[in-house]
Amino acid sequence: MERKELIRLEHVSKAFDGQTVLDDLNLVIHENEFVTLLGPSGCGKTTTLRIIGGFEKPDSGRVILDGRDITSLAPNKRPLNTVFQKYALFTHMDVAENIAFGLKIAGRDKAFIEDKIHYALKLVNLEGLEHRSVSSLSGGQQQRVAIARAIVNEPRILLLDEPLGALDLKLRQDMQYELIRLKNELGITFIYVTHDQEEALTMSDAIVVMNQGYIQQIGSPEDIYNEPENAFVADFIGDSNIIDGTMIRDRLVRILGQEFPCVDTGFGTEQPVDIVIRPEDVELTAAGEADGGLTGEVTDVIFKGVHYEMCVMAGGFEWLVHSTRMFGEGTRVRIGVDPFNIQIMNKPASEDEEAVSENDQIR
Amino acid sequence: MTKFLKRVYIFLIVFFMYAPIAVMVVQSFNRSKSRGHWGGFTTQWYLSMFGDRSIMAALRNTLSIAFLSSLIATVISVLACLAIVQMKRRTRRAVMGVTNIPMLNADIVTGISMMLLFLSFGLKFGYGSILIAHITFNIPYVILSIMPRLTALDKSYFEAALDLGASPVRAFFRVVLPELMPGVISGMLMAFTMSIDDFIITHFTKGAGVDTLSTKIYTEVRKGIKPEMYALSTLIFVVILILLLLLNGSRSKAGRKKAPGGRSILEIAPAAFLVAGLAVSACSLTACGSAGEEAGAEASESNVVYVYNWGEYIDPDVIELFEEETGIRVVYDEFETNEIMYPRVAAGASRYDLVCPSDYMIQKMIQNQLLQPLDWMLLPNASGYIGEKYMAQARSFDPGNRYSVPYCWGTVGILYNKTLVDPEDDMESWDILWNPRYKDDILMQDSVRDAFMVALIRNGADSNTTDPAELEAALSSLMEEKPLVQAYVIDEVRDKMIAGEAAIGVIYSGEALYTQEENPDLEYVIPREGTNLWIDGWVIPAGAEHVENAHRFLDFLCRPEIALMNFDYIYYSTPNEGAHALIEDEEVRNSPVLFPELSQYDNLQTFTYLGEAMDRYYNDLWIRLKSY
């Protein structure tokens, strides 16, 4: 399927009170995508969303929608709608009035509005609640009203600012599936902001990992998880063992004094690198006192349901290991890793470079 | 048992809170003007209230000022809040601090500083100045009531409306304002009641001819508050009670479920309030016209006269007659005591042309060069009809009769209840007030000069003495009398004597006649040792701008038939012999109370101004007596 570009941010920078929040940010989002801006608080993801929505004006750079520069367009003139973090439902109006708000402003006729309200409520599974006051609804219901209120306007893009943050875990998971279903039914682009990596991995077509005003990596959830491009991404997405290592030559790496075969090439010889190994990729086998290889001792065991989470002290590094096989505390174990599961990354020369490394890359 | 006690407790609380209002409601149906005496059920006060032009004008002013000031203050406050909420935390705190200070400020400080401000800007005192003052003191209250709602309002609320396509203005009116509405309405209602409530600030910023209910009621203290005021207060109480009940009723209903399509009272109330308020304001600005006319009156400014008189001290018809006859508009204002009148005239807050102070105050004003000499050529009626004996008496404070024309006079004497005193006792001497037989049956005047006058004259001294020995002697006499005294009071002498709650009281002759009508057992005597003869007289302030009109009005008042109208209305002794001769009722004309044969008393003294140092000395003595 040919992917058509929908919105593009070009060299966008923004500072508040002299503090840089976004620095020369470039991003392209395509039609019918579910894109998640992911990062820790203060990374600039919400500011990016607000710039797209028109609530903030960038200090420099442009926002292009369908080839048209909308950088200075007022929010009420943009064909976008937002679902706000705290829903921002109008409490002096009932459910139907809230949903009808945008349509009334647009001057739609009564029958059309009625139809739309009915359709939207059906879409978010809130039929029959037209005349309830919004304050009498539960958090999840309020969230659905907020979504209904946004989508009845048939926006080109739906912006969602951590919309599930206030819901409890079970409800959050339900809503995640609802959102995916909605996106598929409506066929519009969703731009979703969250700091919850699990949420991002579950829902997104593409994830934009951000930190300190820079984009760290853009990719599918699988790419981001399996091939983190730097230590920050690796650390932020799921649990990781991030270890200093040395690339001996192509397909061979030294980790904590032990040589491991790997699949990466092109890092040169005897180059210091960062090694990322996911905890579930660490294979433990029982080991005797005298066994060679990378061996260590289990220092901590926690039962997590699906697996055991173990800490293993080996080669002077505390490894995090997920395994369905349990080794008791004090057991001596040998650590092995499949070559495919060793992720090798260049070491950044400095903090700054770490942040910028992937910034120029436009997908 | 505890349940019973709880109920008693609740009952007591409610009782103490509502007993005063209940008494007022009862009094509003009392045929007798006296508060201590039930004269039968009547609704006449309600009827005469609606016919009283000055009460209705004051009511209109009160309501329209309350409405306009609360409305304008609310608009300003909403705008201010929108700005304040955008500020950084530090600035916002500082600004909120500054706006909160006026609320903690004493009203009197606010009132005086507003007066000074208006004076220094040369602003005309009147409806406009009151309105500005009320708007000013209302703003902090409204801000305080809106601010919490605004800060609690999520910023994304406004953005959500923008996001859905509303323009910023539309977003504000459709989304933000409705959300603030409860705060806005309660702020506005608070401002409304604060404005109706206010007396002190209004008092300092009002001008000639404009009164609100509170200032109007206050000017009546000298002659006693009119029963019409009880009727009006009762009506106001009932209206507010009904409004509250409706509001509460609708609120509890609205809380349960909103009827689809139907509008709750809560929603209609603001609109109704707005319509009613606008109607009253329009009516007060056009019908009563004082404010509007004054604004555009600069052209005809020469054709007015500013009169400053005691409350209830003229027949309103007299003013109308004068205006009809001469085409000169009378801007009429009232004061309640000489001491309140003095600084206003001295400061020139309003340029009065004709003022009516009492004897000693006239002397003080002459000494401080606040008066201008009268042109007796322009006062033929005054020279022709004011009795020479009164003119002579007036020379004690106004040598040569250069500055004042006597308007009313009276004596201070003893009022006693024939059924409660021993006929053998000599009632025609001040000594009776020292008779232990009447312990707790004696009422004294609660005023320093009057109380000391009684003791000084009894001791054979002059009531204007400045001799410390004589004053100390008078003080010890009063201390000796104090255990016998039931109370030091002013108005209550009248009511308590009518009700038979005391046997003997010191009273003004003007009040005495009225008490006798209410209770025939009462008798008024002037003690043979002598007493105080007081005179209120018309004077023209030095800064008067309409001196010729002032003379015309003054001479009009001295016409016998006009003076008679005023006598019938005020019921104080008139010095106008022409009017005296016209009194039809022989009993009144020859009343020993109102018109005693002055020549038979050789010791009738009129108060003179003793100077500031002496005033302070008298007050110190008074405090010593009160705390004795």
- Among the candidates B212, B240, B274, a domain finishes at B212
> What pLDDT is stored for residue A362 in this prediction?
36
- Looking at the complex, report in whole angstroms how far the Cα of residue A87 sits from the nearest Cα belonging to chain B: 8
Choose among B445, B414, B627, B449: nearest CA to B534: B449
Q: What angle do CA B56, B277, B194 make, to 5 degrees?
A: 80
> pLDDT tens, A10-28?
999 999 988 889 999 999 9
Q: What are phi and psi of B450, to 5 degrees?
A: -65, -45
Run of H or E residues at B369: none
pLDDT band at B344 (very low <50, low <70, confident <90, very high): confident
- Same-domain status, B346 and B482: no
- B260 to chain A: closest CA residue: A131
Mean pLDDT of chain B: 86
- A100 to chain B: closest CA residue: B164
Residues of A with CB under 8 A from a CB of B: 53-55, 74-76, 80-82, 84-86, 88-92, 94, 101-102, 105-106, 131, 133, 149-150, 153
**B164 with A149: Cβ contact below 8 A:** yes
> What pLDDT is stored for residue A90 in this prediction?
92
Smallest Cβ–Cβ distance between B164 and the set A55, A81, A85 belongs to A81
- Same-domain status, B372 and B414: no
> What pLDDT is stored for residue A291 in this prediction?
64
> What pLDDT is stored for residue A104 in this prediction?
93
Chain A residues inside the 8 Å CB shell of B175:
90
Least confident of A86-95, A149-158, B330-339: B330-339
- pLDDT value at B338 more than 60: yes
Chain B residues inside the 8 Å CB shell of A55:
159, 162
Q: What are phi and psi of A275, to 5 degrees?
A: -110, 130
- Looking at the complex, report in whole angstroms how far the Cα of residue A31 sits from the nearest Cα belonging to chain B: 20
- Same-domain status, B529 and B548: no
Domain assignment of residue B397, given as a range: 301-404+539-584
Chain B residues inside the 8 Å CB shell of A153:
164-165
pLDDT band at B296 (very low <50, low <70, confident <90, very high): very low
**A88 with B260: Cβ contact below 8 A:** no
- B162 to chain A: closest CA residue: A76
Chain A residues inside the 8 Å CB shell of B157:
88, 90
**B163 with A80: Cβ contact below 8 A:** yes
Tokens of B323: 């205006």
**A90 with B159: Cβ contact below 8 A:** no
> What pLDDT is stored for residue B399 in this prediction?
93
**A88 with B156: Cβ contact below 8 A:** yes
How much is the average pLDDT of A282-300?
82
**Which of A85, A90, A93, A104 is most worth mutating to test chain B (most B CB atoms within 10 A of its CB)?**
A90
> What pLDDT is stored for residue B221 in this prediction?
67
What one-letter code names the amino acid at A148? A
- Looking at the complex, report in whole angstroms how far the Cα of residue A137 sits from the nearest Cα belonging to chain B: 14
How much is the average pLDDT of B597-615?
86
Give the long-range contacts of residues B368-372, CB within 8 A, separation 24 or more. B369/B542, B370/B345, B370/B346, B370/B541, B370/B542, B371/B403, B371/B404, B371/B539, B371/B540, B371/B541, B371/B542, B372/B403, B372/B540, B372/B541, B372/B542, B372/B544, B372/B547
Residues of B with CB under 8 A from a CB of A: 154, 156-157, 159-168, 170-171, 174-175, 178-179, 181, 258, 260
**A90 with B175: Cβ contact below 8 A:** yes
- Same-domain status, B171 and B116: yes
Smallest Cβ–Cβ distance between A105 and the set B165, B178, B260 belongs to B165
Chain A residues inside the 8 Å CB shell of B178:
90, 92
Chain A residues inside the 8 Å CB shell of B163:
53, 75-76, 80-82, 150
> pLDDT tens, B192-210?
888 988 999 998 888 777 8
CA distance B190 to A90: 26
Number of separate domains in chain B: 3
Q: Does any domain span residue B425?
A: yes
Q: Percentage of residues in chain A with pLDDT exceeding 70?
A: 94
Least confident of A87-96, A346-355, B503-512: A346-355
Smallest Cβ–Cβ distance between B163 and the set A75, A86, A94 belongs to A75
- Same-domain status, B421 and B445: yes
Q: Does any domain span residue B594?
A: no
- A102 to chain B: closest CA residue: B164
Run of H or E residues at B442: strand B442-445
- B88 to chain A: closest CA residue: A17
More confident residue, B287 or A218: A218
Chain A residues inside the 8 Å CB shell of B156:
84-86, 88
Chain B residues inside the 8 Å CB shell of A105:
164-166, 170
- B166 to chain A: closest CA residue: A76
Q: Percentage of residues in chain A with pLDDT exceeding 90?
A: 50
Under a CB-based contact definition with an 8 Å cutoff, are residues A339 and A200 in contact? no
- CATH code at position B487: 3.40.190.10
- pLDDT value at B298 more than 80: no
pLDDT band at A118 (very low <50, low <70, confident <90, very high): very high
- A159 to chain B: closest CA residue: B163
> What pLDDT is stored for residue B260 in this prediction?
44
pLDDT band at A292 (very low <50, low <70, confident <90, very high): low
Q: What angle do CA A73, A79, A84 make, to 5 degrees?
A: 95
Smallest Cβ–Cβ distance between A105 and the set B154, B166, B168 belongs to B166
- Same-domain status, B101 and B199: yes
- pLDDT value at B290 more than 70: no
- pLDDT value at A210 more than 90: yes
Q: What are phi and psi of B206, to 5 degrees?
A: -80, 160
CA distance B262 to B246: 16
- Same-domain status, B568 and B523: no
> What pLDDT is stored for residue B299 in this prediction?
39
**Which of A47, A57, A101 is most worth mutating to test chain B (most B CB atoms within 10 A of its CB)?**
A101
Q: Count of CB atoms within 10 A of residue B425's CB?
A: 15
- Same-domain status, B399 and B414: no
Q: What are phi and psi of A167, to 5 degrees?
A: -95, 160
Helices and strands of chain A, counted as H and E runs:
9, 20
- Same-domain status, B577 and B471: no
More confident residue, B350 or A94: A94
CA distance B619 to B617: 5
Chain B residues inside the 8 Å CB shell of A149:
164
Smallest Cβ–Cβ distance between B156 and the set A86, A92, A153 belongs to A86
How much is the average pLDDT of A35-55?
92
> pLDDT tens, B42-101?
888 898 888 888 888 888 999 999 999 999 999 999 999 999 988 888 999 999 999 888
> What pLDDT is stored for residue B357 in this prediction?
95
What one-letter code names the amino acid at B212? T
Chain B residues inside the 8 Å CB shell of A152:
none
How much is the average pLDDT of B290-299?
42
Under a CB-based contact definition with an 8 Å cutoff, are residues B362 and B337 in contact? no
Q: Percentage of residues in chain B with pLDDT exceeding 90?
A: 47
**B258 with A86: Cβ contact below 8 A:** no
- A107 to chain B: closest CA residue: B165
> pLDDT tens, B580-592?
999 998 888 888 8
- CATH code at position B163: 1.10.3720.10
**B157 with A80: Cβ contact below 8 A:** no
> pLDDT tens, B436-453?
999 999 999 888 889 999
Smallest Cβ–Cβ distance between B163 and the set A53, A91, A131 belongs to A53
- Same-domain status, B364 and B422: no
Dihedral of alpha carbons A325, A329, A334, A338, sign? positive
Question: Tokens 């997590």 identify what position?
Answer: A304
- B261 to chain A: closest CA residue: A131
> pLDDT tens, A314-350?
888 999 999 999 999 989 999 989 999 998 888 876 5
CA distance B575 to A133: 76
Q: Does any domain span residue B579?
A: yes
- pLDDT value at B294 more than 50: no
pLDDT band at B253 (very low <50, low <70, confident <90, very high): low
> pLDDT tens, A62-79?
999 998 999 999 999 999
Angstrom CA distances, B446 to B467, B489, B505, B533, B623, stand at 22, 5, 11, 17, 12
- pLDDT value at B518 more than 90: no
**Which of B158, B163, B172, B176 is most worth mutating to test chain A (most A CB atoms within 10 A of its CB)?**
B163
- pLDDT value at B288 more than 50: no
**A88 with B159: Cβ contact below 8 A:** yes
Least confident of A88-102, B217-231, B270-284: B270-284
- Same-domain status, B487 and B571: no
> pLDDT tens, B105-160?
888 999 989 988 988 887 878 889 999 999 999 999 999 999 998 988 888 889 99
Q: What angle do CA A333, A338, A343 make, to 5 degrees?
A: 110
Smallest Cβ–Cβ distance between A106 and the set B156, B162, B165 belongs to B165
- pLDDT value at A149 more than 50: yes
- pLDDT value at B217 more than 60: yes
> pLDDT tens, A225-281?
988 888 889 888 888 888 989 999 999 999 988 889 999 888 888 889 989 899 999
**B160 with A90: Cβ contact below 8 A:** yes
Choose among B62, B550, B215, B131: nearest CA to B123: B131
- Among the candidates B164, B182, B212, a domain finishes at B212
Smallest Cβ–Cβ distance between B178 and the set A92, A94, A150 belongs to A92
Q: How many CB pairs under 8 A join A and B?
A: 66
> pLDDT tens, B262-285?
445 555 666 666 777 776 766 665
Q: Does any domain span residue B88?
A: yes
- pLDDT value at B324 more than 90: yes
**A76 with B159: Cβ contact below 8 A:** no
- A80 to chain B: closest CA residue: B163
- B182 to chain A: closest CA residue: A92
- Among the candidates B177, B212, B247, a domain finishes at B212
Q: Does any domain span residue B141?
A: yes
**B163 with A133: Cβ contact below 8 A:** no
- Same-domain status, B552 and B451: no
Domains of chain A: 5-226 (3.40.50.300), 231-347 (2.40.50.140)
CA distance B449 to B433: 17
Chain A residues inside the 8 Å CB shell of B174:
101
Choose among B444, B352, B460, B417: nearest CA to B125: B352
Tokens of A122: 């059906």
Chain B residues inside the 8 Å CB shell of A54:
162
pLDDT band at B563 (very low <50, low <70, confident <90, very high): very high
Dihedral of alpha carbons B88, B90, B93, B99, sign? negative
